[in-house]
Chains A and B, each alone.
Chain A
Amino acid sequence: MIEIVSATRCIECDICVKVCPANVFDATKDGAPVIARQEDCQTCFLCEIYCPTDALYVAEVAEGPTGISEAEVEARHLFGGYARALGWKRGKAGGSEFDPTHRIRVAQ
C-alpha cells in the first residue's frame, strides 16, 4: 500500500494525483500531495515509477499499512527501487528493450 510521500523529495508536480488509477492522492494548495484514500490503493507500484523524484514509497503489504518510516526507506535505499529495476528514470519510461523474458519462456 502507498505509505510515504516524502516532503523532502517531492517537487509538488502532482503527477501522482493524475496517474494513480485508484485516485488515492489529493493535491494540496501549498505542499506535497496527501494520501487521502489509502484503503483504495491496489499496490501496483505505478505511482513510484511515474514520480520524477522517487518521492513515493509503496510497501509490499496490500491489505493494510506496515507503518514503515521514511528514514528506514531512505536508509535501505528503497526509494525508486522499482523504477531502477525496470529502467525508468525521473518518471520517464525506459528499459523494455532489455527485457529478457523471452529467455524465461524458453526455459519454461
Chain B
Amino acid sequence: MPKTATAVRSAPEGLHLAADVLVLGGGPSAAWGAVAAAESGATVVLADKGYLGTSGATAPSNTGTWCVPPGDNRHTVVERRWQRTGELADQRWMLRCVDTAYRNLLKLSEWGYPFPSEDDERLYIANLRGPDYMRFMRRRVLLAGVTVLDHHPALELLSDGDAVVGAAGVGRQVEHDWRVDAKAVVLATGGCAFRERILGSAGLTGDGYLMAAEAGATLSGMEFTGKYTLAPHGSSLNKGLPFRWASFHREDGSAILGPTGEPLRNGIGDREEEVARALIEGPVYARLDQAEPALQGWLRQGQPNCFVPYDRAGIDPFSDLFRITLRAEGTVRGTGGIDIVSDDCATGVPGLYVAGDAASREIMTGAVSGGGAVNSSWALASGWWAGKGASTHARRRGGKAFRNEVRPLGQAGLRPAASPRADIAATEIIEAVRDEVTPLDKNFFRSGAGLEKSGERLESVWRDVRDHLQGEGLERIRTREAASIAAAGRWSVAAALHRSESRGMHRRTDLPGKKLSLAHRLVINGVDDFRIAGASERLAELAS
C-alpha cells in the first residue's frame, strides 16, 4: 500500500492535510511529478484548480512529443534543433529532456496506454491524444496513492522563513479553505494565457509565477510571449497543424503572399508573420485546399478537435473559405516562466520545485516556441525530475519541518497594500492587461515606443492591483488570477523593452536583427519592485 497524506483537521473550518510533497496543478507535468514523488516513497497531495484529467492545455489537444530514441543520432537531432532556438537553449538540458521523456513514453506503453501502431505494427509513441492521455494519467496518479484534490485552487505558498512548507487555497465546490503542510512543493500550475480563449486557458492564469516570485524565486524568458497560433475566427481551437495545407485570402479575395511573392500555402511556423500582417489590416480567410483527399481523412480522424468548429458551423474547410484569427498564447506556447537552478528542477527557494509550463523553457527552446512537441516532452521530463527532487528534499528535511512559525506569502489580490476598493475589479484588471499584451500590433510586432506606453499603463494597473484589489471567499480565486495576470503582463512588457533586439518570437520592428551582446537570458527577480538582469554567467555555469 502506498503511504497517504494525513488529515490534521477537517471541516467545518476547512481542510488541513500534511504530506511530504504537495504538487500544485493538474496537467501532465503535475501528474508526472506526483507519480515520481510517490514512487520515491513520499506521501503526496496534488491540488488543482480544475480537475486532474481535463485541466491544462494538453487535455483538450492532440499533441506530438519531441521523441528522439537513444542512439548516436540524438546529438545531431538536438544540435539541429538548438540551431533554431536563437542561441538561448542549452544542449545539455535538451539532451537530458529527450532521454527522460523517451523513458517515460516507454513507461506509458508498459502501463498499457493505448498508443496507435505504425504500418509495421510497431507502437507509435511520439504522439499523445490529450483527453485519453490525461484520463490515463489521472488513474496512474490515484494508483500511486496520491491524494487528489480537484477544484482546490491554491492561493498562496506558506513559508517558515527558511523554506516553502506548503500552500493554502480554497475548495471552490466545497466552499471552504484548505491548507497542506508539506516538506516540498512542486509548482506545476502551467503558463499564463492572459485569458485568451484558447484550449486549456481557464486555469492558465500564471498563478504559479506570482506565488513563486513572492517566495523569492526568479523568472526568465518572460519577453518571449509573442507566439500566436491560427484558429477559426471566434473559436478556441489554437491548433496550427491543419493550416500547414491552406491558402489565405483577404476580404477582397486577393491571396496573401509569402516572402518569395508566391501565394502562401503553409501558414504555420515563420509564416504566421505574413498572416499576422494581413490580420492587422483586415479580416483574413483561409481554405485547407492544399490537403490531398487521403490527408484530409487523416486530419479529420487524427485531429478531430480541429474539425469540431467547422462541423458545428456547417463549413467544409477543404472547399469553403472561412474566417480565421491568430490567438495569443502568452507563456503557454511562449517560453517564459520560473527559472530552474539545478537538475532536479529546484527554483533556488528551499523546498520549491517547478515543472512544465510553470517553468521557464528557455533552456529547452530558447527564443522560439516549444510548440506542442517540445513542451509535451518537457512536461514528461521536468515533472519527473521535480517530483524526484521534491521527495529527496522532503527526506533530507525530515523532522525539521514545521518547527518554526508558518507564514502565508500571498500579497497582491489577497492582502492589498492599502485599503480595498470595490471599484477595482478582477474583470476590468484582466481586460486592461489584455489590451497591452494580446493585440497583434502591440505584441506580435513590438516597438520600443509601443512597449514604453504599454509599460506605463501596466504600471498603473499594477498599482491598483497591489494597493486595492481584494476579494472575499471564493472571489479570492478571481482576484488572485487577476493579480497573477497583471504581474505576468508587467514582467513580460518590461523584459521585452529590456531586450533591445529581435530574437525568435520577440519581434522588435524598431530593432530588427539579433545583437551579440544580448545572446543571453534575461532573469527577473522581485514582484512589486523587480530587477531585470542578464544571466550570461549563470548560463555558462549551466553549460560547463
Contacts and interface: CB of A to CB of B under 8 A. Distances in A.
A12 interface: no
A86 interface: yes
B313 A60 contact: yes
A44 B200 contact: yes
A99 B59 contact: no
Nearest to A68: B312
Interface in B198-257: 198-203, 232, 234-236, 241, 244
Interface residues of B, number: 61
A101 B475 CA distance: 42
A108 B307 CA distance: 18
A82 B310 CA distance: 12
Nearest to A40: B202
A102 B54 contact: no
Nearest to A73: B312
A9 B136 CA distance: 27
A23 B50 contact: yes
Interface string A40-56: 11111110011000000
Nearest to B151: A23
Interface string A79-96: 001100110100001011
Nearest to A59: B312
A46 B131 contact: yes
B408 interface: no
Contacts of A29: none
Contacts of A107: 295, 298
Interface in B96-140: 113-118, 124, 126-127, 129, 131-133, 135-136
Nearest to B197: A62
A18 to B, nearest CB: 6
A85 B307 contact: yes
Nearest to B201: A42
A30 interface: no
Contacts of A93: 131-132, 135-136
Interface in B125-164: 126-127, 129, 131-133, 135-136, 150-151
A97 B124 CA distance: 9
Contact of B203 (A19, A21, A99, A103): A21
A63 B197 contact: yes
Interface in B287-315: 295, 297-305, 307-313
B53 A19 contact: yes
A100 B302 contact: yes
Given A21-B54, A23-B173, A63-B234, A42 B302 contact: no
B241 A104 contact: yes
A61 interface: yes
Nearest to A57: B312
A99 B236 contact: no
B60 A45 contact: yes
B62 interface: yes
A46 B301 contact: no
A61 B234 contact: yes
A18 B115 contact: no
A21 B50 contact: yes
A60 B302 contact: no
A102 B298 CA distance: 9
The 9 closest A-B pairs by CB, nearest first: A21-B50, A85-B304, A44-B60, A22-B202, A43-B236, A60-B309, A101-B302, A62-B197, A42-B202
21 contacts: A19-B53, A21-B54, A21-B200, A42-B197, A42-B201, A42-B236, A46-B59, A60-B309, A60-B312, A62-B234, A93-B132, A93-B135, A95-B132, A96-B113, A98-B301, A99-B116, A101-B64, A102-B126, A103-B298, A104-B299, A104-B303
Given A42-B198, A96-B116, 10 more contacts: A19-B51, A21-B50, A45-B60, A46-B60, A60-B309, A82-B308, A96-B115, A96-B132, A97-B115, A99-B302
Interface of A: 17-23, 40-46, 49-50, 59-63, 78, 81-82, 85-86, 88, 93, 95-105, 107-108
